[in-house]
A and B are shown apart, each in its own frame.
Chain A
Amino acid sequence: MKKSVFLGALTIAGLAATASMASTLDDVKARGKLNCGVSTGLVGFAAPDANGRWNGFDVAVCRAVAAAVLGDSDAVNFVPTTGKTRFTALASGEVDMLARNTTWTFTRDVDLKFEFVGVNYYDGQGFMVPKSLGVSSAKELDGATVCIQTGTTTELNLADFFRSNNMSYEPVPIETNAEAQQQFLAGACDTLTTDASGLAATRAAFENPDDFVVLPEIISKEPLGPLVRHGDNQWGDIVRWVLNGLISAEELGITSANVDELAKGTNNPEINRMLGTEGNLGEMLGLDKDWLIRAIKVNGNYGEIFEANIGEKTPLGLSRGLNAQWTEGGLIYSPPFR
């Protein structure tokens, strides 16, 4: 008797556990808002401006997805996450997607059960030092005190780099970029290490950026991209193809300025398929036919987003380099829309 009650409870528990799986797309539509995990504040990538409006290279991806899915690029809750909290936030469903300088690695993809939908910035880890330290190469950093953000790939690369070069160092583990910046400026560490783009962003926010240099060595590959949870392929496809849409738009010359014009129909079938005048790609995703028009209208195509937030004319001054279109000798490449 006692046993059967217990087993009954177990079965109910089992049912309760399985019944809660709804699709992310339905959740987002029902909520009317997209929950997007971003960093706690990294100028150029994701940071609130003076009016509290989030802006940046990663934020633009969130807004494009919100525009495609909900028709409103402002229907986004930006959830600031640290290097440590981001994966828990995504895995627990607190956010629907992450766009937060996150490196695509095997274990994150396979073991942590996430799905990277693509790469929006090809990066690598670098070191920044004050010029007055008189260091010109990372190989001269033996014995240095190094500020790192915990819970990042940075932390692991750093250990490997110093170990394989037979050098010692003193790690100072830090939660957020803002704290790392403060400690670094106070001289509590000799060097700050993270993704080179992150260093450029951090340096751009300094009062005297010219007093600091980024050392020439890049010690790792850091393909950064948006990610979603394993197991909801439809949602993964939506985020993937919004990103691909922004990238293809640059390749095919669709911009925020001319997208309305082109949406009336062109003689390039791929543009027509993307903008919904031909075929029904939008419906296949579970969206409508104008999804990509809305996404591109928000901040323009990939190239426009790059130039506006982190490009050469911004304080970050990053050149396209690896992040140029494949047609220009870079790695940015979208599969075809067909």
Chain B
Amino acid sequence: MTTLTDPPKESFRLSMLLYDSRYRSMTIQIIVLMGFMLGAAWLINNARINLAEAGKPITFGFLWEPSGYDINQRLIDYSSRSTHARAAVVGILNTLLVAVMGCLTATIIGVLIGVLRLSKNWMVSRLAAVYVEGLRNVPVLLWIVLTMAIMAEFMPQPREFRGENPSARMYLFDSVAITNRGVYIPEPKFTNGLGDIPVAMSLRPDQCESYLEGGELADSCGLFQISLDLWLIIAVLLAGIFVAKLNTMRANRIQAATGERPNTLWVNLAVIVLPTLAVLWYLGFYLERPVLKGFNFRGGIHMRNSLIALWLALSLYTGAFIAEIVRAGILAIPKGQSEAAAALGLRQGKIMRLVILPQAWRVIFPPLISQFLNLTKNSSLAIAVGYMDVTGTLGGITLNQTGREMETVLLLMLVYLIISLTVSAVMNAYNKRNALKER
């Protein structure tokens, strides 16, 4: 045993950093990292010095000045006296709105077309193929502009709805108006509404004075306001769904014990629908219809041309990509699965819904995330149709009116980065939960 001695302990020499393969890769990495950091520092410093020299040092003070411009679509209270920061928030909310609407419809379209493209019916599968190839091979900007142009040129003007014998008519019992300025739909309202609650009142305390003294709530009080009516309805709806779940579980237990399943459909429907209806009645729910007043329709919800054009074009375009992802996902499921399901006597539709799609979903999901991120970023093309997303407010008018190119663009990049990272974090967490767990 004693013949085996440790190899003589080599002392560390500087040259080993280069010649010893144990250290070399580390050395290279550190050098590259230092080079990268130096390069970045040079760029940043150069920009800083040049800006200072041009008399435009980087400052963000302009964000708290009044913006001076109006924004047509605002989900929170905003006027030309509000700050640039608030204009940016209005823009961010508009970006999120169109992104969420777009992702939902794109997914629905994508799943539908993806499944249809695999149809055994030649005609149907060809049509789906034409859709996919046609949409995804033309830049989305053109689709957005085309949709906008069609809406502006071919839909009737509001004043064509006027008079004894108007040349344009409203739809659905005079509750929906499609005009070249957008679509007006009825708005849910409450006669005995519970009112709103302002959030973050400290932001603009002066606007909240009368509210704090027990008086009326000004629209401009707080960062934004939440509707108590909406929360109450959602709460009741969720409670109903919870009770329905309990009922279904009870039915499952009885079925397991006795082999006979009590009918759950009617009870479930009743516990979900009836309390909600009661709350709606209590709040005095009604639909406010848009009516033509002066130059435009008033009342109801105004879905502007720009929103519709952007939403439709983005969902149709992204839908084409999602369709391909869905198709790939379905084709990734071995044929044996559907044959086995068929052997069990399941019909085509059920095989798809109960056997194939749930498995394919796992394949589909990761690339779907990146489509959602794409859609969100593509929504910045809003600028082409004048949709006031964050690129339009912060990166458009604010940039231009204040001349703070560097600051606004940095902020803008930060906003998109945060939105994208949040979306992908949430989606990845969901994906992890649902991924196949190998044991």
The interface of chain A, by Cβ under 8 A from chain B, is 5-6, 9-10, 12-14, 16-18, 83-84, 87-88, 91, 107-108, 111-113, 133, 141-145, 150-151, 155-156, 158-160, 162-163, 169-175, 182-183, 186-190, 230-231
Contacts and interface: CB of A to CB of B under 8 A. Distances in A.
Given A87-B400, A151-B397, 16 more contacts: A12-B42, A17-B46, A113-B54, A143-B296, A144-B295, A155-B397, A156-B80, A159-B70, A163-B81, A170-B296, A173-B72, A175-B383, A186-B180, A188-B157, A188-B305, A230-B54
Interface string B28-70: 0000000000100110011001100111100000000000111
B308 to A, nearest CB: 13
B293 interface: yes
The 8 closest A-B pairs by CB, nearest first: A159-B80, A151-B400, A187-B157, A112-B403, A17-B49, A143-B294, A173-B386, A188-B152
Interface of B: 38, 41-42, 45-46, 49-50, 53-56, 68-72, 79-81, 152-153, 157, 159, 180-181, 293-296, 298, 305, 383-384, 386, 388, 392, 396-397, 400-403, 405
Nearest to A179: B386
B69 A13 contact: no
A172 B45 CA distance: 40
29 contacts: A9-B38, A10-B41, A10-B45, A13-B46, A14-B45, A83-B400, A84-B396, A87-B400, A107-B402, A111-B403, A143-B294, A143-B296, A144-B295, A145-B181, A150-B392, A151-B396, A151-B401, A158-B70, A163-B79, A170-B72, A170-B181, A173-B72, A175-B384, A175-B386, A186-B153, A186-B180, A187-B157, A188-B152, A190-B295
B181 A163 contact: no
B49 A14 contact: yes
A163 B80 contact: yes
Nearest to A173: B386
Contacts of A155: 69, 397, 401
Contacts of B305: 188
B72 A143 contact: no
B319 to A, nearest CB: 27
Most buried by A among B50, B55, B181: B181
A18 B50 CA distance: 8
A171 B397 contact: no
B294 A91 contact: no
Contact of A16 (B46, B159, B294, B298): B46
B41 A9 contact: yes
Contacts of B388: 173
A133 B162 CA distance: 12
A63 B159 CA distance: 46
Nearest to B71: A171
A6 B38 contact: yes
A189 B159 CA distance: 11
Contacts of B49: 13-14, 17-18
Contacts of A187: 157, 159, 180
Contact of A9 (B42, B54, B80): B42
A150 B72 CA distance: 13
B181 A188 contact: yes
A233 to B, nearest CB: 14
A116 B403 CA distance: 16
Nearest to A11: B45
Contacts of B42: 9-10, 12-13
Contacts of A183: 152
B421 to A, nearest CB: 28
Contacts of A186: 152-153, 180
A80 B397 CA distance: 19
Contact of B397 (A12, A150, A190): A150
A338 B71 CA distance: 51
B69 A87 contact: no
Contacts of A141: 295
A13 B181 contact: no
Contact of B401 (A5, A156, A162): A156
Contacts of B294: 142-144
A143 to B, nearest CB: 4
Most buried by A among B38, B159, B293, B400: B400
Nearest to B38: A9
A29 B167 CA distance: 62
Contacts of A171: 69-72
A163 B84 CA distance: 18
B50 A150 contact: no
A310 B71 CA distance: 34
B294 to A, nearest CB: 4
Contacts of B386: 150, 172-175
B403 A145 contact: no
B396 to A, nearest CB: 6
A145 to B, nearest CB: 6
Contacts of B180: 186-188
Nearest to B180: A188
B154 to A, nearest CB: 9
Contacts of B50: 17
Contacts of B41: 6, 9-10, 13
Contacts of A5: 38
A190 B296 CA distance: 9
A155 B402 CA distance: 13
A231 B386 CA distance: 35
B298 A143 contact: yes
A160 B68 CA distance: 8
